[in-house]
Structure 1
């Protein structure tokens, strides 16, 4: 384990869990890397960012709340009322001094508050004005989520703040914009701000909402009952207000001849970061992780190394953290490429042995998260086959999901699965598909399928 606790840098620590032993000629090295950030240190990092910390309040931040105002939000009328109440609750949760705006989304995006292409600064007066402006929100029009995100980006980009974040609510499908346009927007916005996405009711597309959250390194969830929106928005905003350092990346270095097979976040949810690598010098690449507060996350790293004989050993990878280096600053940890290394790193090793017991042992952390990743995939494939009418295929995949959820102690996912299948034997993965499944239950299982449980270390 390595950590860094100077007062002017985030306090991160890195732990590596692996079985470093390979058989003669073995090439695949697997490790679970746990990254932990503790609040005292991350507050120091924000102080080094532009504007950094607002005295006594936390890091400078800007938030744009995007509210679906399409025609379907009026069916039933309580849905729009609940959305207004939820947005008001989120505004009340804003910390004093945070920059913010509210956007109404249909087939176009409209500034609801404060308007004029600018952000307001949270305080008693602006919160009251924003909540008054919410009364003007009304349902009518189509849905083009990309236009909402592009307006949020235009509002957030000029803000000289440490944290930029969006909250997006939709109740329908993205019918007034092509999938290609939405994807292009997500590609443009990625790395510029983070965004949590929520679907309310059951008429929205799970893949669209989760794609927004995935691309923008946020969370996705369903609020099946609109009455639950206010509590959910409050929780989301509280979490956003707890973020203390933005644009943190995992930097992975590998020696000559070695390559990264994959890097996945595996807790608190499965998110494949492999394709998001940006080169960072000789044999090193950066993988974005978004904004951090006081929290811990796990990553599964798989490295392919050159084959070697018994008795050889090598450093297979070095994992460190980098955070943005404010322009015109230098000092301890500066890497010279616009980022700073707060000092935490973990080493992944490879040792070749003829001890069969050592080389065939699977590290418990690696085994646990391999199972969690398979669980998410089994749920996704099982639901897809169920929708396609492939009863046997759906039963097999969802049965495997029940088996994996039980074995890993993922009780929340096991409960969601039990609403879609009748469990005959959880340990054996024997299930029967339910004849009738509430749409909300199926969508909840699909939306939350990537949520994992931490392994007991």
Structure 2
């Protein structure tokens, strides 16, 4: 059985009159094992864009990547392949098959790869239909609580009414996890980010078609290595307190606040998806009523629960003091991840302003991003930013927008904006 630990990092001392308590909770899972594929507890779906724009190298590479991914799916896993254009089609199991999903075994593996090889490009792009079909297929295997999908596209979602994608994403949220990938420079980062954020997955750019296979292989291997189908972060706060936000801050920034479900009147649960042997950091902020100097209070109890069973717990405390030496301390963990979350926002807002032609705002936002990347030691973000701006003074965030930047460089910066560096302890 998986072992979870929760470790809390904070400065629990608050000045007189203060109300807001911040803490970083590091959750670590060990002995998680691998996905329970052999018992039929795992389901995997691969969605490949087959629209007309995929014609040529992109589709050839995507078909090869899907075949490589099929080789990584463990025997016993329920699986299916979807071809997506302005409509979604179940490619495997074949459309005339009795079952919507089948369990992986050598014969099914060979037939799935043969079916993938027959994909042909045509039509437009309506990703809501792909997700809706995936949701319907997953629903046919209720015995598989661990459900993961990969979605690959090369274009914009332009073959369906505005709002259709958001409506379906909202409807399928919580039903399965999905990693979204875009190949080339003609897709929209915000569209795939909407999918991956809601479905507890990742979004990334694959600049070259020949790199799709390695990415798909890694995604399926990671899915197969996660032996805990679903875990939730529970946050208890005392009567009268307010949970301001709950965010995953490592390995990526994901706001979980609006995904709260009620456990009891004082406790909310936040989904974290499947787990292998890994560690993730969460930023929890709680507002409590101020108390007199010398008072102490439990501000929050953060728990990790799997299948309704609490496996680990950490305490967030508040102590009011008039000692400036105590209250002025800033938790390095809280400071680091606050900066990383602001960095992600600054990059995304800066690129959006640049795309809209607002160079003044873009310069300010991307300059702030450079400054934050420098402060938090995020060398990867700094490197990506240098492809979009000329840095005159990183410490003060003084930059100039580059002219004629490569769209792929901007997309790489955008998709990587939520990836964080771990705090140095």
Q: What is the TM-score with the length of structure 1 in the denominator? A: 0.90
CA contact (8 A) 1:27 1:307 kept: yes
Distance in 2, matches of 1:179 and 1:450, equals 26
1:155 aligns with 2:134: no
Distance in 2, matches of 1:289 and 1:252, equals 13
| 1:82 CA displacement | 0.4
| 1:257 CA displacement | 1.4
What do the CA deviations read for 1:397-430 (whole angstroms, capped 9, x no partner)? Answer: 1111111112211111111101101112222212
For 1:109, the equivalent position in structure 2 comes to: 88
Question: 5+ residue gaps in structure 1?
Answer: 1-8, 47-51, 325-338
1:54 aligns with 2:38: yes
What do the CA deviations read for 1:337-372 (whole angstroms, capped 9, x no partner)? Answer: xx2222x00000000000012112110000000100
Distance in 2, matches of 1:12 and 1:53, equals 22
CA contact (8 A) 1:248 1:289 kept: yes
Match of 1:385 among 353, 376, 397: 353
For 2:197, the equivalent position in structure 1 comes to: 214
1:16 aligns with 2:8: yes
For 1:125, the equivalent position in structure 2 comes to: 107
CA contact (8 A) 1:262 1:302 kept: yes
Aligned length: 421
Distance in 1, matches of 2:222 and 2:275, equals 10
For 2:168, the equivalent position in structure 1 comes to: 185
Q: What is the TM-score with the length of structure 2 in the denominator? A: 0.96
For structure 1, which segment, 81-90 or 389-398, has the greater mean C-alpha deviation from structure 2 after superposition?
389-398
Distance in 1, matches of 2:243 and 2:233, equals 13
Distance in 2, matches of 1:437 and 1:219, equals 25
3-state SS, counterpart of residue 280 of structure 1: strand
For 1:424, the equivalent position in structure 2 comes to: 392
1:31 aligns with 2:12: no
Match of 2:65 among 83, 86, 108: 86
For 2:49, the equivalent position in structure 1 comes to: 68
Where do 1:3-402 residues align within 5 Å?
Answer: 9-38=1-30, 40=31, 42-43=32-33, 52=36, 54=38, 60-74=41-55, 77-115=56-94, 116=97, 117-159=99-141, 160-324=143-307, 339-342=308-311, 344-402=312-370
Q: Pairwise CA RMSD of aligned residues?
A: 1.4
3-state SS, counterpart of residue 264 of structure 2: coil
What do the CA deviations read for 1:28-63 (whole angstroms, capped 9, x no partner)? Answer: 00000111111x2x349x7xxxxx5637xxx83110
Distance in 2, matches of 1:178 and 1:247, equals 33
3-state SS, counterpart of residue 383 of structure 1: helix
CA contact (8 A) 2:37 2:75 kept: no
